[in-house]
Chains A and B, each alone.
Chain A
Amino acid sequence: MNLYFPSRLPAFPTLSRTTIRLCWMIALVSLSSCVANRMVPHDAHAYQEGQALKNEALNLMSMANRPYAESEAKINTFQQRVETHIDYEQQRGEKNQTTVDMWKLLMNPSGNLFGGFLNKWKADGQLSDILVDQFKREIGNNFNKIISLENKKKK
């Protein structure tokens, strides 16, 4: 018996070329979908809410040259709205942690961004026009960083 050239080859099922091509396609499409994304996709609601909250925050800042007590109700409503939004961002999954961290930093009452600004307004009673003007630019820019990141996520 010739071991190198056996007269009988094992009987493998013969696949048509079309079947082999289809298998290739399925394998490739599965491969590309299996590798997980590192960032959540774009969310139109998150983007719009980010812009709405920025406008609301800048409006509130315009009132900071008057006593805090006059705007306290509006500030509380705003803070609740932001908390709801942070919950929403958290529910988008752990791959949205960067955005969640940005919101938390922006609203941190012990920090030096919008949360800190509200805290300072409350502590000082009211703030000078000049401080408000200088700080508005800073806050606007930092809201834009969150909005811009959301805008760059895959649509």
Chain B
Amino acid sequence: MPETREFNQMIRNLRGDIDDLARLTVRRYRRQAAADARKTLTRMKKDLRRWTNLLEKDLLTTEDFEFLVNSQQDSMKMTTLKQSGLALVRMDQFKYSFFNLIIDTIFDVILGPKGKLSADD
């Protein structure tokens, strides 16, 4: 396994490179882009350590390593899609609960708490 000190240094360098990359490519949203990328790097750290170790031992080719790292990008897109889908589901649930609340409240008021028509009609 690569020395922990070396690995941590590599992660630190990567963080610095991410900031530079964000500065150069997405100037307007630099802070947000850099924060997102750093969060991703933290999530990937465990996998990166394992893959780096396998690459060092020649158990993975450089192409395989690249393929694995690039798969993280598509995995992130999948997560984003799932989150946006879940947001829509939650909005539907909120709307459903909102209307149920209105209906229940008004029924309680006009029909009485038992939901029955009063005898005065």
With A102-B82, A128-B59, A134-B50 known as contacts, the answer to whether A39 contacts B92 (CB < 8 A) is: yes
A18 to B88, CA, bound (A): 38
The answer, yes or no, to whether A35 is at the interface (CB within 8 Å) is yes
Complex Cα gap A99–B120 (Å): 54
Give the shortest distance, in Å, between B15 (CB) and chain A (any CB).
Answer: 23
A51 to B74, CA, bound (A): 20
| B50 contacts A141, C-beta separation under 8 Å | no
Q: Find out whether the CB atom of B103 lies under 8 angstroms from the CB atom of A32.
A: yes
Give the interface segment out of B5-13, B19-27, B28-36, B105-113: B105-113
Chain B: how many interface residues by the 8 Å CB criterion? 40
> What 0/1 readout, one digit per residue, does chain A (121-155) give for beta carbons within 8 Å of chain B?
00000011011001100100110011011001110
Closest B residue to A21 by CB, please name it: B110
Q: Bound state CA distance, A38 and B74, in angstroms?
A: 25
Contact A21 to B111, CB < 8 A, known contacts A39-B88, A134-B50 = yes
- Chain B residues with Cβ below 8 Å from A134 are 50-51, 54, 60, 68
- Is the CB of A44 closer than 8 A to any CB of chain B? no
CB distance from A49 to the nearest CB of B (A): 17
Any chain B CB within 8 A of the CB of A90? Answer: no
Of the A-B pairs whose beta carbons lie under 8 Å apart in the complex, a sample of 9, sorted by A's number, is A16-B121, A28-B103, A105-B77, A113-B78, A127-B64, A130-B59, A138-B75, A149-B89, A152-B86
Binding site for B on A (CB under 8 A): 16-18, 21, 24-25, 28-29, 31-32, 35, 37-39, 95, 98-99, 101-102, 105-106, 108, 111-113, 116, 120, 127-128, 130-131, 134-135, 138, 141-142, 145-146, 148-149, 152-154
